[in-house]
Amino acid sequence: MKGPAMTYNFDQVIDRKGTGSLKYDCAAARQVPEDCLPLWVADQDFRCPPCVSQALIQRAEHGIFGYTEPDQGYYEALRYWFSRRWQWQPDLNGFVQTPGVVFALAMAVRAFTQPGDAVLIQTPVYYPFTEVILDNNRRLVTSPLSLRDGHYEMDFVSLRRQLETQQVKLLFLCNPHNPVGRVWTATELRQLGDLCARYQVKIVADEIHADFVYAPAIHRSFLTVNPNLAEQTMVCTAPSKTFNLAGLQIANIYLPGQAMRTAFKHEVNAAGYSQANCMGLIACKACYSAEGEAWLEELKLYLQDNIAYIDQFVAQNLPELAVIKPEGTYLLWLDCRKLNLEGTELRQFMRQQAKLWLDDGFIFGQGGEGFVRLNIACPKATLTEAMRRLQTACQQLR
Ligand SMILES: Cc1ncc(COP(=O)(O)O)c(C=O)c1O
């Protein structure tokens, strides 16, 4: 893969142990065998772009880390990124910074619904969606995606029925969709938007994976397709997945409608959060830049090559498994239903036999049983080892 055009060495295996890494340092605390290869949580095993580290070092050398507000340059960086990468021109006054997207999801639940109100999700989906709804004593309403010939689709019949009968107040959209890898088309987003308009449902569009979309798919930010829904929509963005900055705790949440923004800010204040992490602000400003873009373009090529490798390996060597080809994200959704392992048996198999620490499909809700999610944002050597382990384990089952 690493041809002459590559500037960054994504093949380099970097030891992350001893950095407090959730992936590499916390197996025992989570009752996972320490010899499992961790390919679960969605962070990358790659270093962030050098322009980010340099900006952080320069800021660290100043030595004073007091309360900090985003400056004009920060907003210019947001403008640069969203207009160039997302073909989106948001009103920069509509952004609110939070320490993460999941925090923003929880604040949205509190700001836009009352205890007992219904919030809808499309399963299988990123499991904190369910957690922030239930942990805040709201009612979970689901509309499972349908899987046809290896391709997931929204089930608009069920969606409409649920919106019509369940008094849904808020809908969480995941685009690109974690874990199934769909990048929703303009037609799908418009159809969803029309339903939300009709039933007066507010929308939280979680677009944290939007920078990982592979041609011919195109990321369409929800409001670019449904500008009429500006007053009832919140869009979640963050540089954290794109540039591997999750530990720096910075997200940019867009609420163009004054009423929703005020209600959201009130909940953020009520949670006791005010100024953002100063290093997160520095990192975001540095990566939303031409250097960040160049790095991302190379990374996307590397990731596409990783996806192709797994796809081919599974097709050639693991007839029991099937890869759901992702249109976006760096997460692969593996169909293991032919292994006929029920409930936690699949987890046992992956951890005890294959020695892989993956995310179990069932934690993503209805429709996730019999699947696992595999993070491919790692050097090819790590994936080769993972596939070797999986093949050996599957051979023993045959
Ligand atoms: C869809 C989705 N939203 C949010 C997050 C996490 O966001 P944060 O770390 O900013 O809370 C993830 C992480 O994997 C994700 O996949």
Residue 33 pLDDT level (bands cut at 50, 70, 90): very high
- Cβ of residue 287 lying under 6 Å from some atom of ligand 1: no
- Cβ of residue 122 lying under 6 Å from some atom of ligand 1: no
- The pTM of the full predicted model, rounded to 2 decimals, is 0.97
- Cβ of residue 238 lying under 6 Å from some atom of ligand 1: yes
Domains and CATH numbers, the chain: 28-49+293-397 (3.90.1150.10), 52-290 (3.40.640.10)
Other Cβ atoms within 10 Å of 113 Cβ, number = 20
How far apart are the CA of 208 and the centre of ligand 1, in A?
Answer: 6
- Cβ of residue 42 lying under 6 Å from some atom of ligand 1: yes
Residues 114-142: tens digit of each pLDDT: 999 999 999 999 999 999 999 999 999 99
Q: Rounded CA gap, 214 and 84, in Å?
A: 16
How far apart are the CA of 178 and the centre of ligand 1, in A?
Answer: 9
Residue 343 pLDDT level (bands cut at 50, 70, 90): confident
How far apart are the CA of 245 and the centre of ligand 1, in A?
Answer: 11
CA angle (214 as vertex; 382, 187 as ends), nearest 5: 140
- Cβ of residue 253 lying under 6 Å from some atom of ligand 1: no
DSSP 95-130: EEEES-HHHHHHHHHHHH--TT-EEEE-SS--THHH
For tokens 């369910």, the residue is 130
Residue 398 pLDDT level (bands cut at 50, 70, 90): confident
How far apart are the CA of 14 and the centre of ligand 1, in A?
Answer: 23
Residues 301-336: tens digit of each pLDDT: 999 999 999 999 999 999 999 999 999 999 999 999
